[in-house]
């Protein structure tokens, strides 16, 4: 068993429900190794969450066209149907969301939901499933876990709900955990707790994790590699240190410099990326970032750049990346 646990090959996702097709993801290649955490970093509309949700096929099949392949342990998720898809979800790959209040069912206790998930995938008694739920609650450090299993989601605080959702996601011992901005809605002091918990669980359980975030700081805190997305493409990918300290794509460079770095810049103006992210229904030919890019040259406006290797693990999709 070697090679990546997850391989996404030339993934494109187009939403066809509206007046114009929206090309949310345009040719993403990504692999995740066993026990590795990759952060998908991008702004709203960059395709990071769409990519993530495609791995579990959470998009409405009638209004979505998925091209390319998503291989999880050599099984192509894109071709899974019906029962096989239900068996796959939660068992091999599971997901945690930004808003646990929407992800948890408000009319069942959290314990009931975890027990149901376990018994959906495994032949175990209710008592045994309850014991496992309790162990999971202890694992994610929910205080007085026995009592908390009987709680409804609305009876828990935000941080506690997020822990409960992590317990639910881990209930069937998946190998891959997908995290969609799980700390964005949390307060700063709670965010750190959840990030540290996820990092610890990932290491202890040997999970592979894809962590979608818009916050570079979160990516740095949890990830081994960072993939920066823009307009449905990965524009730069590499080990955290390389991407943070030696970014090569102009978008990554700009994104890092727009952060209000506190006291260092007080009183001055922040460097900005001019303009707005592109409309995904009307993507420009060539590089999607070219209209906002200070380094754009003629070729950028006509042909889309291919990913160029900068080192063994670091690459950027920019015509001028190797200059």
Partner 1 sequence: MMTSPAASTVPALLEVDDLVKHFPIKAGLFGKPSAVVKAVDGVTFQVAAGETLGIVGESGCGKSTTARLLMHLITPTSGALRYMGAPVGTMAMPLKAFRRQVQMVFQDSYASLNPRLTIEDSIAFGPKVHGVSTSDSIGRARRLLDRVGLDPIRFAGRYPHELSGGQRQRVNIARALALEPSVLILDEAVSALDKSVEAQVLNLLLDLKDEFGLTYLFISHDLEVVRFMSSRVLVMYLGKVAEVGPTESLYNSSAHPYTTALLGSMLSMDPDHRRTAAPLAGDPPNPINPPSGCRFHTRCDFSAALCSTREPGLTAVTALHSAACHMADPASGHPGKSSATAAKRVVST
Rule CB under 8 A: which residues touch partner 1?
43-44, 141, 143, 157-160, 187-193, 195-197, 200, 214-218, 220-221, 240-241, 244, 254-255, 258-263, 265-267, 269-274, 276-277
Contact yes or no for 2/33 (Cβ under 8 A): no
In the complex, least distance from residue 24 CB atom to partner 1, rounded to whole angstroms: 16
Contact yes or no for 110/148 (Cβ under 8 A): yes
In the complex, least distance from residue 200 CB atom to partner 1, rounded to whole angstroms: 7
Q: How far apart are CA 259 and CA 265, in angstroms?
A: 10
Q: Which is nearer to partner 1, 112 or 193 (CB)?
A: 193
Q: Which is nearer to partner 1, 61 or 270 (CB)?
A: 270
Q: How far is CA 13 from the centre of its chain?
A: 16
In the complex, least distance from residue 91 CB atom to partner 1, rounded to whole angstroms: 27
In the complex, least distance from residue 199 CB atom to partner 1, rounded to whole angstroms: 8
Q: Which is nearer to partner 1, 209 or 240 (CB)?
A: 240
Other CB atoms within 10 Å distance of the CB of residue 184: 14
Crossing angle of helices 110-121 and 126-139, in 10° steps, is: 120
Residue that the structure tokens 């769409």 belong to: 50
Q: Which is nearer to partner 1, 35 or 239 (CB)?
A: 239
Crossing angle of helices 158-169 and 110-121, in 10° steps, is: 10
Q: Which is nearer to partner 1, 12 or 37 (CB)?
A: 37
- 119: enclosing H helix or E strand: helix 110-121
In the complex, least distance from residue 283 CB atom to partner 1, rounded to whole angstroms: 16
Edge to edge, the sheet with strand 22-32 lists 22-32, 6-15, 64-72, 75-76
- 42 is written with which tokens? 């991008």
In the complex, least distance from residue 64 CB atom to partner 1, rounded to whole angstroms: 24
């Amino acid at each position: 068993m070697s090679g990546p646990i997850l391989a996404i090959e030339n993934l494109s996702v187009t939403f066809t429900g509206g007046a114009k097709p929206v090309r949310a993801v345009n040719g993403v290649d990504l692999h995740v190794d066993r026990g590795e955490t990759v952060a998908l970093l991008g702004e709203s509309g960059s395709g990071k969450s769409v990519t993530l949700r495609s791995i579990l096929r959470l998009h409405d099949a009638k209004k979505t066209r998925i091209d390319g392949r998503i291989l999880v342990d050599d099984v192509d998720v894109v071709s899974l149907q019906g029962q096989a898809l239900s068996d796959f979800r939660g068992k091999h790959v599971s997901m945690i969301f930004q808003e646990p209040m929407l992800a948890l069912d408000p009319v069942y206790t959290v314990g009931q939901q975890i027990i149901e998930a376990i018994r959906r995938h495994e032949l175990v008694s209710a008592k045994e499933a309850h014991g496992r739920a309790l162990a999971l609650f202890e694992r994610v450090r929910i205080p007085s876990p026995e009592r908390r299993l009987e709680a409804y989601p609305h009876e828990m605080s935000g941080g506690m709900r997020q822990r409960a959702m992590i317990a639910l996601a881990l209930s069937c011992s998946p190998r891959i955990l997908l995290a969609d901005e799980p700390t964005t809605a949390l307060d700063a002091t709670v965010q750190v707790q959840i990030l540290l918990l996820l990092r610890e669980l990932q290491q202890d359980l040997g999970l592979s994790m894809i962590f979608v975030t818009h916050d570079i700081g979160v990516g740095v805190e949890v990830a081994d590699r960072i993939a920066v997305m823009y307009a449905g493409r990965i524009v730069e990918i590499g080990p955290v240190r390389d991407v943070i300290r030696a970014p090569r794509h102009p978008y990554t460079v700009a994104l890092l410099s727009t952060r209000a770095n506190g006291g260092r810049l007080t009183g001055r103006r922040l460097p900005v990326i001019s303009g707005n992210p592109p409309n995904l229904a009307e993507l420009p030919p060539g590089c999607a970032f070219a209209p906002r890019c200070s380094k754009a040259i003629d070729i950028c406006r006509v042909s889309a750049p291919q990913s160029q290797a900068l080192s063994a693990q670091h690459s950027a999709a920019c015509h001028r990346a190797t200059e």
